[in-house]
Amino acid sequence: MDNLLDQIKNIVGSNGILLGEDVTGRPDNWPPTGGCQAKAIIRPANTREVSGILKLCHAAGQSVVCHGGLTGLVGGARAGKDDIVISLERMNGMEPVDAVNRTVTVDAGIPLQKVHEAAEEADLLFPLDLGARGSCTIGGNISTNAGGNSVIRYGMIRDQLLGVEAVLADGTIISSLNGVIKNNTGYDLKQLFIGSEGTLGIVTRAVLRLRPLPRSCNTALVAIENFDQVGRFLRDMDSAMGGTMSAFEVMWNDFYRLIVGDGNKHGQPLGSDHGFYVLLESTGGHEESDKVRFEGALEEAFESELIVDAVIAQSKQQRENLWAVRDDIEGLTQILWPPIVFDISLGIPQMDDYVDEVRQQLADRWPDSVMVAFGHLGDGNIHLGITIGNHDPEEVHAVEAIVYEALGRRQGVISAEHGIGLDKREYLKHSRSVDEIALMKTLKQALDPKGILNPGKIFANQEDSPS
């Protein structure tokens, strides 16, 4: 064990440092491609210890990769053999929910689901939610600006965050544990640490904003013939429901047809010959009147011929069955094997034309390729699931080039909610200009002049070739 690790051990104790097989026995990433390659995994107990570790690493020029729940999808937490990992797994506590202020202060290593549970016990809601809720941590959610479900109503985690405590590369603790909504006292420093994937600092604590726990939930699946009508239906429903729409998920016909198939697995809630399917949901404060409003708004949409068929969930079970269609990613990837999946944003008016163009380009090159489109239309965020029948790196690269190039021409966004990490670094230029990337590097240089924090993520290191 080298001298630096000895000094770190003095800070965290022997329980706070993992070496050898304790390191390689852990996954390197998600989905794992092997064991963790880092020199050591350090497990600090509090912000002060994180600060002490970073002071030492900064002095030694030692690179550091921070680990939360390791559920990221872009290689943002991958560590090499020269890195040390700081895992926040022991920093997983929380203060009691402040039910009057409707806030809760948590350690960054706490799993998202624990926050859900604590909020709900206080009759409140922490609205950030995603599939990895049991494993992902608040610190990871912050460093990737997690989105997930309900963004149309509540926004990303950026909008749920009142204060942050973070440690800079040199060990300085920036404690901005602000608990109020309005704070215009100089620069809003917490923004630096949201979505910057651990490259500007390590978030150690956060003050989260909680919302009223909904008392009602109305869900429907509707069929629509053309894409213009989908856009108008979104706008009309959002207006009629007074801004309480909490989901507006669109499925292109190819997705729905693939998932529902012959109806064996999911039944066939609606016939499969319509252009588009929308799963929509609204939450509110009053069961009876919210239901009347929801059904009335759907009726209006029928009358104005925006929608052609609909099924409204009459029970919790029926609601789950409808969501199972949209959420059957396992079924989807089985059919689209091996899958290539994208997470993109673009303006709603450009969306249908974009999907058509990509589909056509893929078919031209791989006549047997399959592509389906679906996603959070209310947020301008869709997913593409594509298979070309193989996973040859060069061919996958060619698919990525088609998808991102057509997107770049429409001022689209190559990563709506997953971030850039290592895997999308090459394509950042399709969504960000040379000057924007240069400004990012200026910020990186100012906050982490030695480049020790999660090096090479988002963009190449200063000393590497430009990306």
Instruction: Please give the Cα distance from 382 to 375 (Å, whole number).
Output: 4
Hey, which residues between 66 and 95 contact its own copies (CB under 8 A)? Answer: none
98-112 CB burial, b ≥16 within 10 A, e <16: eeeebbbbbbbbbbb
The residue from 215, 365, 391, 397 that contacts its own copies (CB under 8 A) is 215
CB 35 within 8 A of CB 28: yes
Which of 214, 331, 339, 408 is in the footprint of its own copies by CB under 8 A?
214
Among the residue ranges 60-68, 111-119, 178-186, 326-334, the one whose residues contact its own copies (CB under 8 A): 178-186
Closer to its own copies by CB, 79 or 217: give it. 217
Q: Name which of 23 and 152 has its Cβ closer to its own copies.
A: 152
Binding mask 385-414 for its own copies (x = CB under 8 A): --------------------------xxxx
Question: Does a cis peptide bond (omega within 30 degrees of 0) precede residue 31?
Answer: yes
Q: Residue 458 Cβ, how far from its own copies at the closest point, in Å?
A: 5
**If binding is defined by CB under 8 A, does position 175 make contact with its own copies?**
yes
> Angle at Cα 301 formed by Cα 295 and Cα 306, nearest 5°?
145
Establish if 181 lies at the interface with its own copies (CB under 8 A).
yes
Q: Give the pairing type, strands 84-87 and 41-42.
A: parallel
Instruction: Report helix, strand or coil for 290.
Output: helix
CA atoms of 138 and 111, how far apart (whole Å): 6
Q: How far is the CB of 170 from its own copies (least distance, A)?
A: 11
* One residue of 136, 241, 250, 325 binding its own copies per CB under 8 A: 241
Binding to its own copies by residue 177, rule CB under 8 A?
yes
Residue 195 binding its own copies, by CB under 8 A: yes
Q: Which of residues 255-284 bind its own copies (CB under 8 A)?
A: 283-284
Query: 10 Å Cβ neighbour count for 408?
Result: 16
Q: Which residue carries 């020029």 as its tokens?
A: 61
Contacts of 67 (CB under 8 A, 6+ apart): 41, 77, 79, 85, 86, 87, 88, 89
Check binding of 198 to its own copies (CB under 8 A). Answer: no
One symbol per residue from 143 to 162: x for binding its own copies (CB under 8 A), - otherwise; what is it?
-xx-x---xxx-xx-xx---
In sequence order, the 6+-apart residues with CB closer than 8 A to the CB of 236 are 297, 300, 301, 304, 306
440 binds its own copies (CB under 8 A): yes
Among 95, 180, 397, 464, binds its own copies (CB under 8 A): 180
Whether the Cβ atoms of residue 77 and residue 29 lie closer than 8 Å to each other: yes
Size of the site for its own copies (CB under 8 A): 105
Dist CA 86 CA 140 (whole Å): 13
With respect to its own copies, which residue has the nearer C-beta, 2 or 159? 159
Q: Is 432 in the site for its own copies (CB under 8 A)?
A: yes
- Residue 462 touching its own copies (CB under 8 A): no
Other C-beta atoms lying within 10 Å of the C-beta of residue 163: 20
Question: Distance between CA 444 and CA 457 in Å, rounded?
Answer: 11
Closest to its own copies by CB, 109 or 147: 147
Of 128-136, 165-173, 273-281, 325-333, which part binds its own copies (CB under 8 A)?
A: 165-173
Q: How far is CA 57 from the centre of its chain?
A: 29
Phi-psi region of 75 (alpha: psi -120 to 50; beta: other; left: phi over 0): left
Residue 331 tokens read as 């079924």
Site for its own copies in 283-342 (CB under 8 A): 283-286, 289-290, 292-293, 296-297
Residues 6 or more apart whose Cβ sits within 8 Å of residue 14:
none
Q: Which is nearer to its own copies, 59 or 438 (CB)?
A: 438
Closest approach, Cβ 435 to its own copies, in A, equals 5
- Asked whether the beta carbons of 115 and 106 are under 8 A apart, the reply is yes
Kindly tell me which residue out of 85, 346, 355, 452 binds its own copies, with binding defined by CB under 8 A.
346
Determine which residue in the list 176, 218, 219, 454 makes contact with its own copies, applying CB under 8 A.
176
Q: Which of 41, 97, 168, 223 binds its own copies (CB under 8 A)?
A: 168
Q: C-beta of 163: minimal distance to its own copies in Å?
A: 9
User: Closest by alpha carbon to 245, among 348, 153, 380?
Assistant: 153
Residue span binding its own copies (CB under 8 A) among the ranges 111-119, 132-140, 385-393, 445-453 = 445-453
Residue closer to its own copies (CB basis): 300 or 309: 300
Collapsed DSSP state (helix, strand, coil) of residue 68: coil
User: In whole angstroms, how close is the CB of 397 to its own copies at the nearest point?
Assistant: 19
For the chain, the C-alpha Rg in angstroms (whole number) is 23
Q: Closer to its own copies by CB, 22 or 287: give it.
A: 287
